């Protein structure tokens, strides 16, 4: 049975009410991920709300292994498992990246090109009012305002790997809803072969849009695109939050795309427009350097970037003790079972 769970809060971000659903096989389950302290905090919260022990969580998990986890109530047990995950080189090291790193090591060139520019330059970013329009080849175009973004569709938490084309990666607990839900509501027509996305264009708020030097020479607004089947895939998420709270500006507030089997640049931030189109739409990095960044951008350890290898990646974790974090990159970032079929007729070396 699904149940409503309010999680997380701080003075900057609003807590979101997340509908935790029965996990699907492709989702990283929380108990497969190293706790970081969030896991334990959440357990404390659940206990406070009377969920633990009442069997609520047991029925929301699908495997006996996970049921077993939730039936134990001793923090040190989780720590032991964390170590096991972190030192086992044969498994993908599924360690939740600390919130502090997810929100301070960013790519968001509208706020500058260094990793710390977004957190430093985006704090005054105003997201209210916000309008997201869904338009183009569809029968029922519509617009969502800021409030609608967290209310129009039931929110769920999805723990996904995130692999940047620069060969670093994180494991992020997103909050959001399937893009398919938003798209279907607009009733796309038979000419809707692709979906085009556009970031806010507001040079007064985004210094990188006011200066080509600050913004890395990109022609803004940042745009991206997906084939309609990719957009409709149940893995494709519209994210409005992370770690149980609304998105910080630097991560793409108030709403951004998350396509976990593709390089991070496909996951466009701070979206104001979504359009159904007939032809393959423009995509910012693909326009900038088509020989380095393809339209598909599926994570692929076999196809190197012209200037570096994509065979492995640096997983950003808590560092320190657990700094052994160079891991193999997985085809489709580990989501092949769910997405490889979409590309069975495509030469992935040519269509990188």
Ligand X SMILES: Nc1nc2c(c(=O)[nH]1)N[C@H]1C(S)=C(S)[C@@H](COP(=O)(O)O)O[C@H]1N2
Binding test (CB under 6 A) with ligand X, winner from 60, 267, 286, 300? 267
**299 binds Mo ion, rule: CB under 5 A:** no
**250 binds Mo ion, rule: CB under 5 A:** no
Angle at 161 between CA 112 and CA 240, to 5 degrees: 60
Shortest separation between residue 265's beta carbon and Mo ion, angstroms: 5
Q: How many CB atoms lie within 10 A of CB 71?
A: 12
Q: Give the count of residues interacting with Mo ion (CB under 5 A).
A: 5
Shortest separation between residue 342's beta carbon and ligand X, angstroms: 21
Q: Which of residues 81-110 bind Mo ion (CB under 5 A)?
A: 107
Burial class (CB in 10 A: 0-12, 13-18, 19+), 182: buried
Q: Which CB atom, from 82 or from 297, has the smaller least distance to Mo ion?
A: 297
Q: Residue with structure tokens 């790997």?
A: 161
Q: Which does 106 bind (CB under 5 to 8 A by kind): ligand X, Mo ion, none?
A: ligand X
Q: For residues 279 and 188, what is the distance between their CA atoms, to the nearest angstrom?
A: 14
**294 binds ligand X, rule: CB under 6 A:** no
Q: Which CB atom, from 70 or from 222, has the smaller least distance to Mo ion?
A: 222
Task: Give the binding range for ligand X (CB under 6 A) out of 44-52, 88-96, 153-161, 263-271.
Answer: 263-271
Binding test (CB under 6 A) with ligand X, winner from 61, 97, 106, 333? 106
Structure tokens given for 192? 């809707």
Task: Give the binding range for ligand X (CB under 6 A) out of 14-22, 37-45, 266-274, 332-340.
Answer: 266-274
Structure tokens given for 293? 């960044």
Angle at 324 between CA 41 and CA 241, to 5 degrees: 35
Q: Give the count of residues interacting with ligand X (CB under 6 A).
A: 17
Here's the x/- map for ligand X, 196-225, by CB under 6 A: it reads as: ---x----------------------x---
Closest CA to 276 of 208, 343, 194: 194
3-state helix, strand, coil in the chain (%, to 5): 30, 25, 45
From residue 32, how far is each of 6, 37, 289, 323 by CA, in Å?
A: 22, 14, 37, 20
Q: How many CB atoms lie within 10 A of CB 46?
A: 18
Q: Which does 199 bind (CB under 5 to 8 A by kind): Mo ion, ligand X, none?
A: ligand X
φ, ψ (nearest 5 deg) of residue 163: -115, 110
Binding site residues, ligand X, CB under 6 A: 106-110, 162, 164, 199, 222, 251-252, 264-265, 267-270
Residues that bind Mo ion (CB under 5 A): 107, 164-165, 264-265
């Amino acid at each position: 049975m699904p149940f409503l769970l309010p999680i997380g809060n701080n003075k900057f971000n609003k807590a979101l009410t997340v509908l935790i659903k029965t996990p699907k096989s492709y989702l990283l389950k929380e108990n497969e991920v190293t706790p970081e302290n969030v896991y334990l905090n959440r357990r404390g919260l659940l206990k406070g709300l009377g969920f633990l022990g009442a069997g609520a969580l047991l029925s929301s998990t699908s495997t006996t292994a996970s049921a077993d986890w939730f039936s134990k109530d001793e923090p040190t047990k989780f720590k032991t498992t964390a170590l096991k995950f972190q030192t086992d080189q044969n498994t993908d090291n599924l360690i939740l990246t600390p919130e502090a790193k997810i929100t301070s090591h960013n790519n968001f060139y509208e706020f500058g090109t260094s990793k710390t520019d977004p957190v430093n330059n985006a704090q005054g970013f105003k997201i209210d009012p916000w309008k997201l329009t869904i338009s183009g080849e569809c029968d029922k175009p519509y617009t969502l305002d800021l409030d609608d973004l967290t209310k129009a569709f039931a929110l769920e938490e999805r723990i996904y790997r995130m692999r940047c084309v620069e060969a670093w990666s994180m494991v992020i607990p997103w909050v959001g809803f399937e893009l398919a839900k938003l798209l279907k509501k607009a009733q796309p027509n038979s000419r809707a072969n692709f979906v085009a996305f556009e970031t806010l264009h507001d040079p007064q708020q985004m210094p990188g849009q006011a200066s080509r030097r600050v913004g890395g020479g990109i022609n803004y607004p940042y745009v991206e695109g997906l084939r309609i089947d990719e957009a409709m895939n149940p893995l494709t998420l519209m994210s409005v939050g992370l770690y149980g709270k609304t998105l910080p500006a630097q991560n793409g507030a108030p709403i951004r795309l998350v396509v976990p089997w593709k390089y991070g640049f496909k996951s466009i931030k701070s979206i104001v427009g979504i359009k159904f189109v007939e032809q393959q739409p423009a995509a910012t990095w693909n326009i900038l350097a088509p020989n380095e960044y393809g339209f598909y951008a599926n994570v692929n350890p076999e196809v190197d970037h012209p200037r570096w290898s994509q065979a492995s990646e640096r997983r950003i974790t808590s560092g320190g003790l657990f700094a052994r974090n160079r891991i193999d990159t997985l085809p489709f970032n580990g989501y092949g079972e769910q997405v490889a079929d979409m590309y069975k007729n495509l030469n992935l070396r040519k269509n990188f």
